[in-house]
Amino acid sequence: MTGHRSWTADRRARLAEPEVAQRAAAAHAELARLDEGYRKTLAQLRNARRLTQAQLGSVLGVSQAQVSRVENQADLYLSTLRSYVQAMGGELELRAVFPDGLAAAIAIADLRTPADADADADAAGQYFQQDVHAAFALVHRGVGRIDADVERFHAADAA
């Protein structure tokens, strides 16, 4: 269609205009400032809900020490984080934010737990162990026929 311009091209052209670019930058800065204000550590969230580590632990069925460990852990399973947030009465939401200001919620249909991961690792280990057994079963087959093959080889040697 003549004169048609895509949304992306149109957006880029608009952002190239100094006044629009300035307004967009200001809006991004304001969003970042608001975001920073909302960002809380897990411990701060728990305190805001007036819950102790022991109380949260009893909801989660873990010890106070384990709650403390989760709050100080640098890396967490999403399933652990979700359980923690749910134990405080909330819901975990994830959001991807891009430098151009676009943001999108991430839907995670099936969060895996550490127990799931362990079970999968065990299953994989068993699978590969079966693989090793199957591979060596073929070696045994080779041992069974090696005499015949060697004779065949040497027979041709003398031919």
Partner 1 sequence: MPLTPPDLSRPYASSADKDADWQLLLRRTESLQELTRLSGVPEAQWPAGEAARLSAVPSISGETAGQRLARWRNVFASEIADLERAVLAASSQGGSATVADIDLRSAVYLAARLLATLYDVAIDQVSP
Q: Under the rule (CB under 8 A), what is the footprint of partner 1?
A: 125, 128-129, 131-136, 138-143, 146-147, 149-154, 156-159
Minimum Å distance from CB 13 to partner 1? 54
Task: Give, for 85, the enclosing helix (H) or strand (E).
Answer: helix 78-87
The full length of the chain comes to 159
Minimum Å distance from CB 123 to partner 1? 14
Q: Residue 102 or residue 143: which is nearer to partner 1 going by CB?
A: 143
Q: Residue 108 or residue 150: which is nearer to partner 1 going by CB?
A: 150
Minimum Å distance from CB 137 to partner 1? 8
Q: Residue 105 or residue 155: which is nearer to partner 1 going by CB?
A: 155
Q: Residue 29 or residue 121: which is nearer to partner 1 going by CB?
A: 121
Minimum Å distance from CB 158 to partner 1? 5
